[in-house]
Structure formats: structure tokens, C-alpha cells
């Protein structure tokens, strides 16, 4: 019966069929009496496939900018303002000197004014030196530097090949090495950039919120709900925070633009 009829339901089997068309059972049994397929379904050991719960989750991004990163960004923005402030002070010194020459300011008054301005320059230089001591390269910037360096090496390698200064074998070997390293770095950078993108969105939102706070404060001052003195104090606080936010935003955009 096993050769003509299904061992399970007893109905006729189609000649050469692997399964019974009536009950779906395998067409034959193994010597142990267990159902088997006429041919093995797997020709090799099954590969391990992780369950969904075992899948590797992407590294979570931080919503808030860590304090140490924030300090680096603010400090860097501050460094950019020193030259501008110094130029403004030196222009004032030149203006005072010119006023003395044309008789618009007494020499004694001008001398005191110039001394005060020069003291500001000295203080500015000291502040700049202190800020430069705290200057630090962010890990993502070091990564960007490596990416640009590898791209430069690959470009030089292509020039060497065009000039016939390297065999095809050597060219391919070196190129594969550089491209593998570049791919690894770019994958790591993609994760870092995702973090920077989150921070940029966060800062843009904060920037808009602060601008709205300034407008609301002005309206309340005009209505009379906020007095002039309180308005100026609060305005200075919000403006300072806005400038800090905008400086960090510009720094992060500048970092991303390098790649």
C-alpha cells in the first residue's frame, strides 16, 4: 500500500508525487516509521537567524547636548568674536586720535580715553588666550579629518596609476585597503551625523522659542504688564541665551558642512 496509497489517509498517490494530494502527508515513511520526504529539503546546515528580540538596535541619540560639548561650541564661537572686538577697539583709538588732531577733543581727555581702550585690548587678549587653552577637537571632527585624508590619498593613488608609476596589482591592493577604511569611517560618521542632526533640530526649535519670548515680552511691556526696568533685565537674559543658542547652531552646521 505504501507504494500506491498514502500511508496516512489510504487514498491513491499520484505516481512520482512527494506528497499526498488529499491530506498533504509525505509520500513515504522512513525506516523508523516516521514520515519523510522523498528528497531532503535542506542541502546544508540551517543558518542561524536571530529572533526579532535579538536584533541589534541602533545606538540611541541624545536629545540634549552634553554640557562638555556645549562648552566647546560656545567657547569656539567666542574665539571668533575676539578679532572683531579688537578691531572695533582699535578703530575707536584711531577715531579719538583723529579728533585730537582736528581739535574736536582735548588732548587730556583723549589720553584718558585711549588708555581705557588699550586696557580693553589687553583684557581681550588675555580672555582670548584663556579661551584658546580650552579649545578642543570634537571626536566627530577627528573622524571627518580622517575621511578627508583618506579621500585625498585615494585621489593621489589614481594620479599615480594614470602616470604608470604603480602596477595594477599594487594599485588594486592599496585602493581596496583605503576604500575599506573609508567605508568603515563613513558608516561611523553617519551615526555621529544623526546625533548632530538631532541637536541642530533641537537648537532651531529653541531659537524660535526664544524669539517668540522676546516678542511676547515686548508686547507685554507695551501693554503695561511689564515695567521698563524689568523688561530690559529680562530682554538681556533672553538675548544672551538666544546668542548662545545661535552660536552653537552655527558651529554644528559648520562641522557638518566639512564633509
Report how many domains make up the chain.
Answer: 3
Rank 104-108, 129-133, 180-184, 255-259 by mean pLDDT and report only the highest.
Answer: 180-184
Give the pLDDT band of residue 234 (cuts 50, 70, 90).
Answer: very high
Residue 13: which pLDDT band, with cuts at 50, 70 and 90?
Answer: confident
Domain for residue 50, yes or no?
no
Average pLDDT over the chain, rounded to whole?
Answer: 83
195 and 206 both lie in a single domain: yes
Is it the case that residue 217 has pLDDT exceeding 70?
Answer: yes
- Could you give the C-alpha distances from 67 to 70, 73, 185, 250, in angstroms and in order? 5, 10, 26, 17
Cα distance between residue 161 and residue 154, in whole Å:
11
Tell me which long-range contacts 211-220 makes (C-beta under 8 A, separation of at least 24). 211/242, 213/238, 214/238, 214/239, 214/242
Choose one of 116, 136, 156: the last residue of a domain. Answer: 136
Which domain does 228 fall in, by range? 138-259
Do 107 and 145 share a domain, yes or no? no
- Indicate whether 152 and 87 sit together in one domain: no
Q: Is the pLDDT of residue 25 over 80?
A: no
Query: Alpha-carbon distance 223 to 213, whole Å?
Result: 15
pLDDT greater than 90 at residue 151: yes
Shared domain for 6 and 16, answered yes or no, is: yes
Together in a domain, 194 and 234 = yes
Residue 28 has what pLDDT?
Answer: 62
Do 177 and 111 lie in one domain? The reply is: no
User: Cα–Cα–Cα angle for 146, 204, 235, nearest 5°?
Assistant: 125
Amino acid at each position: 500500500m505504501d507504494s500506491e496509497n498514502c500511508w496516512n489517509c489510504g487514498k491513491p498517490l499520484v505516481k512520482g508525487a512527494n506528497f499526498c494530494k488529499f491530506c498533504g502527508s509525505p509520500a513515504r515513511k522512513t525506516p523508523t516509521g516516521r514520515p519523510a520526504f522523498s528528497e531532503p529539503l535542506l542541502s546544508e546546515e540551517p543558518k542561524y537567524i536571530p529572533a526579532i528580540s535579538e536584533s541589534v538596535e541602533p545606538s540611541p541619540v541624545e536629545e540634549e547636548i552634553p554640557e562638555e560639548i556645549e562648552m566647546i561650541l560656545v567657547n569656539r564661537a567666542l574665539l571668533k568674536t575676539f578679532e572683531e572686538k579688537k578691531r572695533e577697539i582699535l578703530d575707536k583709538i584711531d577715531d579719538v586720535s583723529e579728533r585730537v588732531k582736528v581739535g574736536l577733543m582735548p588732548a587730556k581727555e583723549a589720553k584718558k580715553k585711549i588708555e581705557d581702550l588699550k586696557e580693553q585690548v589687553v583684557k581681550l587678549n588675555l580672555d582670548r588666550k584663556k579661551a584658546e587653552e580650552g579649545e578642543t577637537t570634537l571626536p566627530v571632527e577627528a573622524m571627518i579629518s580622517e575621511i578627508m585624508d583618506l579621500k585625498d590619498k585615494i585621489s593621489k593613488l589614481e594620479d599615480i596609476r594614470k602616470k604608470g608609476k604603480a602596477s595594477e596589482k599594487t594599485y588594486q591592493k592599496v585602493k581596496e585597503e583605503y576604500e575599506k577604511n573609508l567605508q568603515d569611517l563613513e558608516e561611523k560618521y553617519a551615526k555621529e551625523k544623526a546625533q548632530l542632526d538631532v541637536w541642530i533640530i533641537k537648537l532651531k526649535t529653541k531659537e524660535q522659542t526664544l524669539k517668540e519670548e522676546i516678542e511676547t515680552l515686548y508686547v507685554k511691556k507695551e501693554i503695561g504688564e511689564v515695567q521698563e526696568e524689568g523688561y530690559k533685565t529680562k530682554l538681556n537674559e533672553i538675548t544672551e541665551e538666544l546668542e548662545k543658542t545661535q552660536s552653537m547652531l552655527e558651529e554644528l552646521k559648520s562641522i557638518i558642512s566639512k564633509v
